[in-house]
Structure 1
Amino acid sequence: MARFYRESGALVFFEPNNLKHSEKLEEAIRLCHVLKYAGAETKKDIAEDNTDEFIKRIKSYCPPLVIKTLGKYGLLYRFAGDTKWKYQKGVKPDEIFDSCGAGDWCTASFIFYINELAQQNNLKLLDILKHNEFIRQSFSFAQILASISLRFVGARGLSNSMTKEDLFKNYQSYFNGSCETIFFTGRSKQKSKRMEVYNTKIKHKSAGCSTCLLNDKS
């Protein structure tokens, strides 16, 4: 499927769940235009000259753009042919209830924004990958939406609680330097959902979902 759509001119985005070497993994990387994977959530990985055994391994067939996420520390990225990583600082959330789905929000928002930029600048989607400034803008948008998603319980918490218009209002609020305002149009049931998750944790005396960071009733 990836080969068919690549040959049809589509952008192929690949996000493997592990980096263990295999013929299938190599084939998928060769077919993709953007590769995104999770790195260790440590400060030492921020260094631009940080060595990466995985990158060394795929050097001969590295895709046009590689993204290495570092959790709260942000992300690293590099274009094909780069000898060093470029660093994009993370967006600090105002509060965290659940990190489940934040990575998916980052991915989906990044793809959405590069498509928007391609249309606005009359460029083909694949050509956007050649422009560092457009990529940085797209990361910024994606990181803000991923940060907003941390305020909601469950991978679909944000999408179930906000309209598209509300989400863009909140993005603009973050972009302007305020992470305190949350706009709703009456669609949110998150308060009761947060209480439900909290009460379930208390009842079973467990942390529940491993990604859930909910630790109070607020």
Structure 2
Amino acid sequence: MPIVVDRPKIFGTGLVALDLVIGLDPNTPVQSWAGGTCGNVMAIMSYLGWDAYPIARMNGDPASERVRTDLSSWGVHLDFVNCAPTGHTPIIIQQIRRGRDGTPTHRFLWSCPHCGQRLPSYRPVTQASVEAIVPHLQNSSVFFLDRLSRAALTLAESAVSAGAVVVFEPSGKTDDKLFAEALGLAHVVKYSDQRLADAGQAMSEGTATRVEIQTVGADGLRYRHRLDDKVSPWIVVPAFPVANLVDSCGSGDWCTGGFLMKAAGSGLSGLMSIGEAGLNEALRFGQALAAWNCGFEGARGGMYLVSRPDFDRQIRSIREGRPTLAAIDRTIKVGASVACPACPDQPDKLPPAARSAA
């Protein structure tokens, strides 16, 4: 009789969106995938072998159905993605271009290029949803949040009581009170120096932070920890070389996924016992995944083009200093279109929604 091994569980709330990715090749169909920081991390963790449960407020509109279909295809659990009151799923347009030096770069569009209206934006889950979700946090390994709200912090507090690692990835500092509360709960705080150079003294007295990670783009990241209650100096983890830079979007999410896979599968007790060498190894693994992701368009484009065995081989090659990309099938299957909610009668006039890829 085969032995059944429980998979680590991760719950997360924050930005779960529909990404519409406009690539460099104008003849390539616009790609539509589940995205947003939380959405990407949930999909990546499921891809890496975890049970992932995003918490969101999808209302059944075309964007939310596209996100649900995509997440479901990667084994993500959708038990808590229709929390009431529901609302439009956020839509983010990512446009990839070449800079003056020929290097690929990207920008995000938050308005419909046809009608000019703002695309649906993020709305947090409410306190009304918390009671039904809290019992399911038992035996979870990680709780992830990238946007703050009273409900998100209530869920994080319950996850702490369940022995989970709470991971906070702020995209910016908004409400000072909620931000301070988040630092009082989060064991891992990860942020970009480009977005938030000062995360509010994550390692200050009274915070829960055990690992503070600051990403610095092409230079990699630096981190410090207090696994033994003493704050370490900053430790630099250089980025791996990228064989062929296509798009860096989402690489931070892959770094988070790789780190959590190696460091947080046993919850907080496992993180606290990993030691400095184990912590460094987990972040190096995360950096390898980040470098791999730079070879594809979109935050998770490689997942659709590379088999899982090839993925594992390519990650090993990157870690061994010989980054290569195996031959892959780049055929993109055209799927249903997703239009701007403000101009639903004219979907073909919205460039990013005219074509989407599965």
Report the TM-score, using the length of structure 1 for normalisation.
0.71
Measure how far apart 1:90 and its partner are.
1.5
The number of aligned residues is 176
Residue 5 of structure 1, aligned match among 152, 156, 159: 159
Measured on the aligned residues, the alpha-carbon RMSD in Å equals: 2.9
Distance 2:202 2:306 in 1: 42
Q: How does 1:40-55 map to 2 (within 5 A)?
A: 40=194, 54=199
Q: Distance in 1 between matches of 2:202 and 2:249?
A: 30
1:58 Cα offset (Å): 5.6
Using the TM superposition, give the Cα deviation of residue 77 of structure 1 relative to its aligned residue in structure 2, in angstroms: 0.7
Note the alpha carbon deviations across 1:118-143, whole angstroms, 9 max, x for none: 69xxx9423245x1100111111111
Checking the alignment, whether the CA contact within 8 Å between 1:75 and 1:88 is kept in structure 2 is yes
Q: What is the match of residue 79 of structure 1?
A: 225
Counterpart in 1 of 2:290? 146
**Displacement of 1:54:** 4.2
Give the number of the structure whose residues are more often helix, by fraction.
1
Q: SS at 1:77's partner residue? A: strand
Q: Distance in 1 between matches of 2:198 and 2:251?
A: 26
Gap regions ≥5 residues in structure 1: 42-51, 194-207, 210-218
Match of 1:29 among 183, 188, 209: 183
Once the two structures are superposed, what CA deviation does each residue of 1:50-99 show, in whole Å capped at 9, x if it has no partner?
xx754547612340110011011111111133263111111121111111
Give ranges in structure 2 of 5+ residues lacking alignment.
1-154, 334-350, 353-358
Residues 124 and 59 of structure 1, relative CA distance in 2, 3 Å threshold: closer
Amino acid paired to 1:106: C
2:262 matched to 1:113?
yes
Distance 1:85 1:138, change over 3 A: same
Contact 2:203 2:210 in 1 (8 A): no
Q: Deviations over 1:10-69 (max 9, x none)?
A: 11111011134611111111111100011149xxxxxxxxxx754547612340110011
- Contact kept, 8 Å, 1:73 with 1:89, in 2: the verdict is yes
Tell me, in whole angstroms, the C-alpha distance in 2 between the residues paired with 1:142 and 1:156. 14
Runs of 4+ aligned residues of structure 1 deviating over 4 Å after TM superposition are: 52-58
Distance in 2 (alpha carbons) for counterparts of 1:39 and 1:78: 14
Q: Which has the higher strand share?
A: 2
Change in Cα spacing, 1:22 to 1:58, as seen in structure 2 (3 Å) is farther
2:213 pairs with 1:67? yes
Using the aligned pairs only, state the percent identity: 27
Q: For 1:104, which of 240, 248, 253 is the aligned residue?
A: 253
In the superposition, the TM-score normalised over structure 2's length comes to 0.45
| Aligned mates of 1:183, 1:72 — CA distance in 2 | 23
Q: Rg bigger for which structure?
A: 2
